[in-house]
Structure 1
Amino acid sequence: MKIAVPREIKTHEYRVALTPAGARELVGRGHAVTVQAGAGEGAGFTDAAFEAAGARLEADVATLWREAELILKVKEPQPEEIARLGAGQTLFTYLHLAADEALTRGLMASGATCIAYETVTDRQGGLPLLAPMSTVAGRMAIQAGAHALEKAQGGAGVLLPGVPGVPPARVAVIGGGVVGENAARMALGLGAEVTVLDKSIVRLEVLDDRYQGRMRTLFATADAIEAAAREADLIIGAVLVPGAAAPKLITRAMLAEMRPGSVLVDVAIDQGGCFETSRPTTHAAPTYLVDGIVHYAVANMPGAVARTSTQALTNATLPFVIALADRGWRQALADDPHFLAGLNVHAGQVAYRAVAEAFGLEWTDPQALLG
């Protein structure tokens, strides 16, 4: 199969969808891998490393896209990339369609087959291709939040661990999944006072047992979230409804009850954000103020640690890429119902129910598209 790896063009996105080691695996199985010149530089992978792995370099982006059967990316395609996508091609990347109607309709119009990393499942009910970036984002959320709490960044001037005689910062993490646990773990390690809120008692029990009561766990009622917001110096939004838009859990009205200079870090921004006042930002301008509260809502947080993120992503995606390359998308998805859950759009039809419901579009059962 002809596999293309374009350079990411989203603002301050330095990751690449495949490492040279991954390219070597695919070439060794008889596939043709073409990498856009310079695609891996931001993550520390040189063109020479890809060539040594057996990949071909292509400087012309139009040629790269036109000749590809399978296109591997990291972030959702930008408008100029959607225009290059066509029927008969398969796109495998993060999509987060429920937060972006224009992107959804653009992919439908392209006629391509679009498989989303973030909705592929596993036997345990997890999201194996979202998990590595969720781990990175959860850990980065505390770094970003701690920096945003500094007075020069608009924050309250609070040091996360405090010092002897001065209490540590209070951190509230809304959502106890992969992002939330990693954020809580980092905050605990830095010496903060941590509260995790979640609607799953089972998940709260796991966290309580795993961390031996060192973090406070609360069932996530509206009252509990409001109380945590009033007390917290830093709030991490880590909720996830797979494939669907995130619920708005911190409202504009609640900001007035928070301490001035408190910080909101919205890790759910790819899915529309879980704070009512969230809007996507970039690494170039990551924060903004609303009613005296600092908001951090970078939509591609792991892109800032591109080398670590690229390696972690390829580790997770490579078995699925090999399945697509060896068997084609129809057979690969027919063989694995968990992989089939990744199918979002095919030939103008929406195959993921939450995306269709978000925009009032007709939903097509993905099984019917396997033909």
Structure 2
Amino acid sequence: MGYKVAVVGATGNVGREMLSILAERGFPADEVYALASSRSVGREVSFGDKTLKCKDLQHFDFTGVDFALMSAGGSISEKWAPKIGAQGCLVIDNSSAWRYHQDVPLIVPEVNAHVLDAYMAKNERMNIIANPNCSTAQLVVALKPLHDKAKIKRAVISTYQSVSGSGKEASDELWNQTKGIYVTDMPEPQVYTKQIAFNVIPHIDVFMEDGYTKEEWKVLAETKKMLDPKIKVTCTAVRVPVFVGHSEAVNLEFENEITADEARDILREAPGVMVVDSREDGGYITPIDAAGEDATYVSRIREDTTVENGLNLWVVSDNLRKGAALNTIQIAESIINRGLLTKAA
């Protein structure tokens, strides 16, 4: 018998991607439920060659369900994840609601799947596992093998994040503004603080007292939690007029010597990483190339001669997949493959 899986937030960008990836990867599920708010009850969503009708989260009984894959926003997760977990269902949450809770593991399977062993062995646990921020997920996949080799001291990250990270309304805003420019009917910004079409906006999430935005803080806090609390991390997060795919310019300073050639060889062998790094026109990955793909791509690997033991990287991934839906499902797969979950009766 297979597992029973509920996708919470099934009508959103990430929820739809979760359903697609569950089908693509042949996840061992006997039953898959699409859940959403009451206003979306009965709405149809695709699951492989099947069509599922959305059920109401408010009245759904999670007894007997093995996994709840949540992508319905932080406030929904904050309210519902503990209730679902209390019914014996394991919640894998894609929001920021539980990422920094000391009793909730933050997981990228290629980086720290071993943390699941101790968590699932606890007699008393919250039954909540957190998925990291989309930018952090792809970042730590690339950093982990390099940190294991030469120990990262400091990381300077600049992100170039697509509008899909803000949801469907943001993608519509980019589309409508782009069309509007050509027909002299420019719509006013609604989702973003400034025009996003043909522009870049150095502002993602709310501003904090120290001048950083919450998105930038997430990269710092989550990298430290998953990889190493001693790494010094700073970040500038920028929204760019790209529909799907986040890019990152990464500058690293290591404790020990590491060359660009060594880094390239290490990353070629690393799980979840694809190196595309030819020093010629087009010999690198862009967001369009990464859209619809599972890998975290690394290009432009080169030494930073301004510091001792420094490297520069260009990291690109599909934020709806590795940054969200795929990583969530990979966590569930890791739990199954490690024999950590007995199927609900």
TM-score bin, normalised by smaller chain: 0.3 to 0.5
Name the structure where helix makes up a greater proportion of residues: 1
TM-score (norm 2): 0.37
